[in-house]
Amino acid sequence: MRQRIALWIVLVVAVALLAPLPAAAQVARRPIEDLKPTVILISIQEKIYSTLKSTAPKQVKIYRKLELPAYFHYGKSGRIGDIVAVVDEGWLMTSRDRYRAPEPAAGGAIRYRGEHGYDNQLESMRALFVAHGPAFKKEKVVEPFENVDVYNVMAKILGLKPAINDGGDATAKAVLR
């Protein structure tokens, strides 16, 4: 069975940017056929995790994917990296090259660059859900629900069987006819 070497190479590059390469990464000098990517990935990943965990400012929490709070709905997703950084509300994590200072706007207001990805339990992370059309109950106001439920609402409207996901069907039952 072939290994996905491309992912392994990206991780080696990331380690090189954070700290001197750990001893396990020295294997990269051998021909690709000799590599044992699974073992190397684990040791490099641990080096990245421990470096981030020990050097992150107090406003940044570093998690292993499987240690994330369940309400994030990240633990089972293949789209989420093995290491996740979550910043406190009001903080922005970026690079110097991408940083843009807040700009003055009309009426003395300040325009901030868009920020998202905070803890989804925060009030500031709530979304607005407004729907209208023949599939929806008229003038229905529902209790707040998680964004992961929207997918199942849309699948139901389109008559599709939803793929396995972290959402539930309670919201669809509440808002759809």
Q: How many Å apart are CA 58 and CA 72, to the nearest integer?
A: 20
Structure tokens at 11: 């991780």
The residue whose two tokens read 């003038």 is 139
In the predicted model, what is the mean pLDDT of residues 106-128?
77
Interval 2-18: pLDDT, tens: 444 333 222 222 232 33
Choosing among 3.40.50.2000, 3.30.559.10, 3.30.1360.180, 3.30.70.270, the CATH entry for 56-122 is 3.30.1360.180
**Amino acid identity, position 104:** P
CB-CB contact of 44 with 52 (8 Å): no
Give the pLDDT confidence score for residue 44 in this predicted structure.
84
Retrieve residue 44's tokens.
């490099």
- The pLDDT score that the predictor gives to residue 42 is 65
Cβ neighbors of 43 (< 8 A, separation 6 or more) are 22, 24
Where along the chain do its domains lie?
Answer: 1-55, 56-122, 127-175
pLDDT band at 38 (very low <50, low <70, confident <90, very high): low
Cβ–Cβ < 8 Å for 155, 161? yes
What span, in angstroms and rounded, lies between the C-alpha atoms of 154 and 12? 40
The sign of the dihedral angle between the CA atoms of 61, 22, 79, 77 is negative
pLDDT band at 43 (very low <50, low <70, confident <90, very high): confident
Per-residue model confidence (pLDDT) at position 73: 85
List pLDDT tens digits, range 46-77: 889 999 999 999 999 999 988 999 988 876 77
User: How far apart, in whole angstroms, are the C-alpha atoms of residue 63 and residue 85?
Assistant: 6
Which three-class secondary structure state does DSSP give residue 102?
A: coil
Residue 6 and residue 32 in contact, taking contact as beta carbons nearer than 8 Å: no
Beta strand pairing status for 83-87 and 60-64? antiparallel
Q: How far apart are CA 17 and CA 25, in angstroms?
A: 13
Half-sphere exposure of 53 (CA within 13 A, CB side): 9
Residues 42/83, Cβ–Cβ less than 8 Å: no
